[in-house]
Amino acid sequence: MEKVTAGHDALGDFAPKFAELNDDVFFGQVWSREDKLSARDRSMITVTSLVASGITDSSLKFHIQKAKENGITKEEMAEVLTHLAFYAGWPKGWAAFYIAKEIYKE
């Protein structure tokens, strides 16, 4: 997995410790444990968690893009979001589909 610098890029000057934890621990140490859980599975879990929590902002967009890069197909993403909408809520499903549709059209 390539090094993530989003924390440093967005918040490095304002909150350097948070940026370090985001980039080095969360995206570094946690996401790199692919011997325990694949990046593909982590992506699916992350998208599900964000949608279920009602987080349909740039975080969800980033993680749906990451899911695509980690091998989750358009058909699989549509199935995940359809299934999830019944558990997390229909409006959350709609919001997630709008984001996913944009990402998978590319």
Residue-wise pLDDT tens digits, 42-80: 999 999 999 999 999 999 999 999 999 999 999 999 999
pLDDT above 90 as % of the chain: 80
Rounded CA-CA distance 32/25 in Å is: 10
65 shares a domain with 99: yes
- pTM, 2 dp: 0.88
Rounded CA-CA distance 45/87 in Å is: 14
Whose tokens are 């944009």? That residue is: 102
Number of compact structural domains in the chain = 2
43 shares a domain with 23: no
51 shares a domain with 80: yes
